[in-house]
Each structure stands twice: as structure tokens, then as C-alpha cells.
Amino acid sequence: MIQFRKFLTIFLCLAIVSFSFPRDTVGMTIKQEKELSEQVIALILKKYTLIEDPAVVGYVRTVAKRIVSILPPQPYDFQFYVIQDDEYNAFATPGGYIFFNSGMISAFESEEELAGVLAHEIAHVVCRHISQKVDRAKIASMAALAGIAVGALLGVGGAGALAASAIGQSAMLAYSREDESQADQLGLTYLADSGYGGRGLMTGLEKIRSRQWFGSDDFPTYLSTHPASEDRIAHIDTWLQANKDTVKQTINIDPQPFRMARTRLISLYGDETIAKQKYQSAVQQSPDDPMAHYGYALILAKTGDRSTAIEHLKKALVKRAFDPYILTDIGRLYYLQGLHQEALDSLEGAVSIAPDYPEGVFYLSKTYMEMGKLEKAVTLLKDMIDRAPNHDLARYALAEAYGKLGETGQAHYHLGLYYSSKKDAKNALFHLKRASQTIKDPEQSKKIEEKIKILEKKVSDNQKR
């Protein structure tokens, strides 16, 4: 029954898309959609900072993958990101890239609410709502089209200064009431099939809507880019009532991962004054709540009071003795205070519990380096980079460890890759050329030469401009 309902809904989604447009203007090809998404993302990254915290982003991606796993085969791989911004907003670009503002997640109270909005955005992608409107805009330049699409996804205010004509064209790409209704309907089906109750979509939307009553300056961007919130809430409620016999309430969802991610977002990436007041009050009101102590510890450490932060982390650890995130933060603060043996005790425990958590592995390797255990540090960092090749600090630390071991060729090699990832072609070339003079391994030497050629071309192209 569930499978039949899922494929029926998808069929209706695709049917509406197909018959809403003339057949010669159905929209972009998948290849064009991916090209547009790359330019849209480049514009987004010029304005916003992505949160790289694996405890936050990894959690959001885990929830998202649970929903995506029940979809039929898609023409692109979904990617999920968290933007550091207090605005209430979430949006999907063409090509399957979905972004959540940190402020939106911080406003939610459960995984169900996060899953609800995620499912809605995934449905926008599946139905190709933005790409199906592109032909109507009649924009020849992909770059111009990307700018207009950003205006539609972020709202005119979020997109920055747009010309009057661009504002009008952004409106043409904006979601319609029909798009929103369709994404809600399909999203509710996704939620039911992936084990969520579906009510989170409604309660999450209600939280976003409640923000508009604070004043015009606080009007959520999400409501300007996702219209008809009142109608949506009513329709979702009606759907939930009509399907209450087949839609199960969420079960076996551990609330701790959501609370951990939300606490880190508020303490580490939100307003410092608000976060400190919030968790100081939480500690006073709920002294037995480990997340109250954890949040307070994070904001204390961020503002420089590491000793008191460690005290609160230890209180949190009493209630959650094997929590790798808490153990990692204790070890990190001990490391920063120069207490390496204490750091080692906490970090080895953290890594034994969560060997794939990059923060724990990174600080354990740094502790090993400070204690002269360089071979252990190299082994840890190499393994970490194999699993997370874009972890720039790990790459730099590996170069440092090789340098202390006297392996200058490997040190230059990893510094070259580090500077390359930072778009610093001049320094990258310097270190890679030094590495090429020392490293004798044929396979690695070939990689170095190929990288040098690519960087030399970039430097040459930049000089010609």
C-alpha cells in the first residue's frame, strides 16, 4: 500500500509538471540544471558561510539520507548543507543541492520538524519546480539566470541589490501556491514512507509562521520564498487527519542527536550574548540536563573561559559517560590549555567510541605531536584524510608532523595540497616543486607533476587577465 501510494504521488507530480508546460518548453535538461546549480552555489558562497561542523552537518545529512533512501532513482546526487545565518530559511537549488540556515534548525524542537522541511525541499527538487520555470524567464546568459534564481530562492533582500527587471524575473521563478501544495503532498508521503509521522512538517511551519508576528524586520525569508503558509498548514492538517490510520507516528527516534546538533548551532554559531543567557538560564533551571551544561560549556569556551567550560563539560559527561562529542570537547580544551596527558585520556576515549568523528581524530593527532608520538600522529592523519580529503587543517597538521619527522618531501607535498585547496596557487607550486625534487615514489611523483601542470596553467591564465 505504501509503495503504491508513493509511486502514485510521484506519477501525479511528474504528470502535473509535464502538462503544465508546452512540450517544446518543458524546461532545462539535467545537464543544464547541474550547470545552473554550480553557478547558483558559487553566488551563494560569496554571500554566506557554510558550517563545516561534522556533528551538525553529519547529523542533517543522516536525516536527509533516510528520506532520500525511499525515493526511486534520481538523475542527480542530493547534497545537503548548513549556512551560518540566523534567518529562517531553507531552499533547494536545481540539481539537488539543499541548504538550511542555522537559524531555521535552531528554531526547531525535534528531528520530526527538521525532517518535515527537508522532505518538502526534496520534493521541490524531484518535481524540478525551479528548472521547469526557467524557460519562462527567457534569459540567455546562464550567469544572469543564476543571479535571478538566487533572488527567487533567497528572497530579494537575501539576494542583495537587484535591478527592477531582475526582481520581476526572480518573481517569475518563485514557487507558486501550487508548487508549495505539491511539495507538501509529496513530502508528506516521503515522511510516512521513511518512518516519520509527518506532523513535524506542520509544527515546523507553524514555528516559522509565528516569527512574522515579531515585526516586519523579523519576517522570515522562508515565508517570502514559500508562500501561502496559512493554506499550507490547513491542508497538511487535513491530510494528516485523513491519513491517520496509515501514517504512523515517529517511533524509535533518539532525540539526543538533534539536541546535540541544535545545541552546537546555538552555542558555536549563533549570537554569543543570546547563547550565553540561554544556557546560563538552562543550567540554573535544569541542573540535571546534560545539554544545558554542554551548551553553556561551549559558549564559555568560545568566549575564553576554558576552565569553567571544562567543569560544565564534566557535569554533562556524568549523565552521558560515553558521549564522544563531550569527550572530544573536553580533550580539545585540555589540549588548548597545554594539558596534554589530560587531553590524551579524553581524546583516546572519544576516538575509540567514534573513530570517524574528524574533530576527535584531529585533536588526538595534535596531542600525539605535542607528546612526541609523531608516527602515531601521521597514521591517524593519513587515515583521516583518506576519509575526509577536504579537511584542510588535517592536511596542514600532517605536513607539520612529516616536517618534525624530517621527511621534508612529504611535508612539502602536503603543504602544496593544502595551499592548492586554499586557492593559493603560488605557494602551492612552491611546495609541490620542492616535493618533486625529493620524492622518488613513481606514482606519487606522477601525481605531483600533474598537479604542478594544472597550477602553472592557472597562474598563467591569471597573469593574462
Angle at 60 between CA 58 and CA 61, to 5 degrees: 65
Helix (H, G, I), strand (E, B) or coil at 272: helix
Length of the chain: 465
Number of continuous H segments (helices) and E segments (strands) in the chain: 24, 3
Round to whole Å and give the CA distance between 355 and 383.
10
Distance CA 202, CA 229 (A): 10
Helices (H), 226-305: 229-242, 255-269, 272-285, 290-302
Place of cell 546534560: 290
What is the model's pLDDT at position 395? 95
pLDDT in tens, 218-269: 545 555 556 557 778 888 888 888 887 766 666 678 999 999 999 999 999 9
Tell me the residue ranges of DSSP E strands in 75-201.
79-83, 90-93, 97-101
CA distances to 131, 159, 232 from 229, rounded to whole Å, are 23, 22, 5
How far apart CA 407 and CA 377 sit, in angstroms, is: 14
> 138-172, pLDDT tens digit by residue?
555 666 666 666 666 666 555 454 444 444 454 55
Q: Percent of the chain beyond pLDDT 70?
A: 79
Contact 174, 225 (CB under 8 A): yes
Cα–chain center distance at 193: 24
What integer is the mean pLDDT of 428-438? 95
User: What gap in Å lies between CA 186 and CA 198, rounded to an integer?
Assistant: 11
pLDDT of residue 180: 83
Average pLDDT, the chain: 84
Sorted by where each starts, the structural domains of the chain and their CATH numbers stand as 2-242 (no CATH), 255-464 (1.25.40.10)
Given this model, what pLDDT does residue 24 score? 34
What's the mean pLDDT in 316-331?
A: 97
**Cα–Cα distance between 154 and 181 in angstroms, integer?**
20
- Range in 93-102, 146-155, 237-246, 417-426 with the lowest mean pLDDT: 146-155
Q: How far apart are CA 271 and CA 265, in angstroms?
A: 10
| pLDDT band of 67, cuts 50, 70, 90 | very high
Residue 201 grid coordinates: 512538517
Non-local CB neighbours of 99 within 8 Å, separated by 6+ positions: 44, 80, 81, 82, 83, 90, 91, 92, 93
Q: Is the dihedral of CA 193, 198, 200, 205 positive or negative?
A: positive
What does the buried/exposed string (b/e) look like for 422-461 if buried means 16 or more CB atoms within 10 Å of the residue's CB? eeebeebbebbbbbbeebeeeeebeebeebbeebeebeee
pLDDT at site 147? 66
254 within 8 A of 216, measured Cβ to Cβ: no
Per-residue confidence (pLDDT) for residue 36, from 0 to 100: 80
Q: Which three cell numbers stand for residue 357?
A: 568523528
Per-residue pLDDT of 51-62, as tens digits, reads: 999 999 999 999
Q: What Cα–Cα distance (Å) separates residue 135 from each residue in 1, 22, 28, 169?
A: 37, 11, 8, 11
Q: Indicate whether this model's pTM tops 0.75.
A: yes
Which residue in this structure is represented by grid cell 535552531? 106
- Each residue of 182-211: pLDDT tens digit? 888 999 999 989 989 888 888 888 888 776
More confident residue, 42 or 222: 42
Give the Cα separation of 354 and 93 in Å (integer): 33
Residue 11 CA to residue 17 CA, distance in Å, equals 10
Cα separation, 133 vs 169, whole angstroms: 11
